[in-house]
A and B are shown apart, each in its own frame.
Chain A
Amino acid sequence: MAVRAADLQTPGRPLRAARLRLTGFFWSHPWTKALLLLGPPLLAFGLVYLASLVALFVSSFWTVNPFTTEIEHAWNLGNFRTIFESPAYRTIAFRTIGIAAAVTITDAILAFPLGYFMARVARPRTRAMLFVAVLLPLWSSYLIRVYIWRLILDQDGILNWTLGKLGLGSVGLAYSNWAVWIIFSYVWLPFMILPVFGALERIPESLLEASRDLGAGGFQTLRRVVLPLALPGVVAGSIFTFSLTLGDYVTPLLAGGASSQFIGNVVYQSVGISNNVPFAAAFATIPLAVMAVYLLIARKLGAFEAM
Chain B
Amino acid sequence: MERRSTRIGLALWALLVTAFLWIPLLLILVYAFNRSNVQSWPIPGFTTHWFRVAWDAQEVRDAIWLSVRAGLLATGIAILLGSGAAFAIARFRFFGRESVSFLLVLPIALPGIITGMALNTFFVFNHIDLSLWTIVIGHATFCIVIVYNNVLARLRRSSPSLLEASADLGADGWQTFRFVVWPVLSTALVAGGLLAFALSFDEVVVTYFTAGAQNTLPLLIFGYIRLGQQLPVVNAIAFAMIVLTVIPVALAQRLMRDTGVLRRGAANVTEATQGIPAV
Q: Would you call A257 an interface residue if the criterion is a C-beta within 8 Å of the partner chain's C-beta atoms?
A: no
Residues of A within 8 A of B (CB): 1-3, 7-8, 16, 19-20, 22-23, 26-27, 30-31, 34, 36-38, 40-42, 44-45, 48-53, 55-56, 59, 110-111, 113-114, 116-118, 120-122, 127, 130-152, 154, 156-158, 161, 186, 189-191, 193-195, 197-198, 201-202, 218, 236-237, 239-240, 243-244, 246-250, 253-254, 263-264, 267-268, 271-272, 277, 280-281, 284, 287-288, 291, 295, 299, 304, 307
Q: A195-B277, A218-B3 are in contact. Are A49 and B141 (CB under 8 A)?
A: yes
In the complex, are the beta carbons of B111 and A248 less than 8 A apart? yes
Q: Would you call B131 an interface residue if the criterion is a C-beta within 8 Å of the partner chain's C-beta atoms?
A: no
Complex Cα distance A114/B10, Å?
A: 7
* Interface pairs (19), CB distance under 8 Å: A1-B179, A20-B172, A38-B84, A52-B118, A52-B122, A55-B118, A131-B253, A136-B246, A138-B276, A141-B241, A141-B242, A143-B218, A144-B221, A148-B24, A198-B274, A201-B269, A250-B222, A277-B120, A291-B110
In the complex, are the beta carbons of A49 and B118 less than 8 A apart? yes
**Closest chain A residue, CB of each to CB of B6:** A218
In the complex, are the beta carbons of B238 and A144 less than 8 A apart? yes
Q: Would you call B60 an interface residue if the criterion is a C-beta within 8 Å of the partner chain's C-beta atoms?
A: no
Complex Cα distance A56/B111, Å?
A: 14
Residues of B within 8 A of A55 (CB): 118, 121-122, 125
**Closest chain A residue, CB of each to CB of B19:** A133
Of the listed residues A2, A110, A116, A271, the one surrounded by the most CB atoms of chain B closer than 10 A to its CB is: A271
Q: Which one, A26, A113, A142, A149, contacts B14 given CB within 8 A?
A: A113
Residues of A within 8 A of B179 (CB): 1-3
Q: A114-B17, A121-B10 are in contact. List 5 more A-B contacts (CB 8 A).
A: A19-B174, A23-B174, A113-B10, A144-B238, A151-B28
Q: Would you call B66 an interface residue if the criterion is a C-beta within 8 Å of the partner chain's C-beta atoms?
A: no
In the complex, are the beta carbons of A110 and B198 less than 8 A apart? no
Of the listed residues B100, B119, B183, B234, the one surrounded by the most CB atoms of chain A closer than 10 A to its CB is: B119
Q: Would you call B263 an interface residue if the criterion is a C-beta within 8 Å of the partner chain's C-beta atoms?
A: no
In the complex, are the beta carbons of A304 and B24 less than 8 A apart? no
Residues of B within 8 A of A133 (CB): 18, 21-22
Q: Which one, B39, B92, B170, contacts A8 given CB within 8 A?
A: B170
Q: Which one, B41, B103, B253, contacts A156 given CB within 8 A?
A: B41
In the complex, are the beta carbons of A304 and B202 less than 8 A apart? no
**Closest chain A residue, CB of each to CB of B247:** A139
In the complex, are the beta carbons of B22 and A137 less than 8 A apart? yes
In the complex, are the beta carbons of B270 and A156 less than 8 A apart? no
Complex Cα distance A76/B150, Å?
A: 44
**Closest chain B residue, CB of each to CB of A47:** B122
**Closest chain B residue, CB of each to CB of A113:** B13
Residues of A within 8 A of B113 (CB): 247-249, 263-264, 267-268, 284, 287
Shortest B97–chain A CB gap in Å is: 9
Residues of B within 8 A of A135 (CB): 249, 252-253, 276
**Closest chain B residue, CB of each to CB of A197:** B273
Residues of A within 8 A of B175 (CB): 3, 7-8, 19
Partner-contacting stretch, out of B49-57, B68-76, B203-211: B203-211
In the complex, are the beta carbons of A117 and B10 less than 8 A apart? yes
Q: Which one, B89, B121, B241, contacts A52 given CB within 8 A?
A: B121
In the complex, are the beta carbons of B40 and A140 less than 8 A apart? no
Q: Would you call B33 an interface residue if the criterion is a C-beta within 8 Å of the partner chain's C-beta atoms?
A: no
Q: A34-B94, A148-B24, A291-B111 are in contact. Are A142 and B81 (CB under 8 A)?
A: no
Q: A7-B175, A140-B245 are in contact. Are A271 and B106 (CB under 8 A)?
A: no
Of the listed residues A56, A146, A254, A295, the one surrounded by the most CB atoms of chain B closer than 10 A to its CB is: A56
Of the listed residues B3, B21, B92, the one surrounded by the most CB atoms of chain A closer than 10 A to its CB is: B21
**Closest chain B residue, CB of each to CB of A136:** B249
Complex Cα distance A120/B6, Å?
A: 12
Q: A144-B28, A144-B221, A249-B113 are in contact. Are A38 and B242 (CB under 8 A)?
A: no
Residues of B within 8 A of A50 (CB): 103
Q: Which one, B13, B21, B84, B109, contacts A291 given CB within 8 A?
A: B109
Residues of A within 8 A of B31 (CB): 148, 151
In the complex, are the beta carbons of B106 and A120 less than 8 A apart? no
Q: Mark B235-275, 1 if CB is under 8 A from A, else 0.
A: 00010011001101100110000000000001001101110
Shortest B160–chain A CB gap in Å is: 12
Shortest A271–chain B CB gap in Å is: 7
| 5 A-B pairs with least C-beta separation | A247-B111, A156-B40, A52-B118, A52-B122, A38-B88
In the complex, are the beta carbons of A186 and B246 less than 8 A apart? no
Q: A3-B179, A139-B198, A202-B270 are in contact. Are A151 and B27 (CB under 8 A)?
A: yes
In the complex, are the beta carbons of B117 and A139 less than 8 A apart? no
In the complex, are the beta carbons of A26 and B173 less than 8 A apart? yes
Complex Cα distance A22/B84, Å?
A: 18
In the complex, are the beta carbons of A51 and B173 less than 8 A apart? no
In the complex, are the beta carbons of B102 and A247 less than 8 A apart? no
Q: A16-B172, A295-B109 are in contact. Are A148 and B270 (CB under 8 A)?
A: no
Q: A19-B172, A189-B21 are in contact. Are A288 and B121 (CB under 8 A)?
A: no
Residues of B within 8 A of A132 (CB): 249, 253
Residues of B within 8 A of A44 (CB): 81
In the complex, are the beta carbons of B14 and A268 less than 8 A apart? no
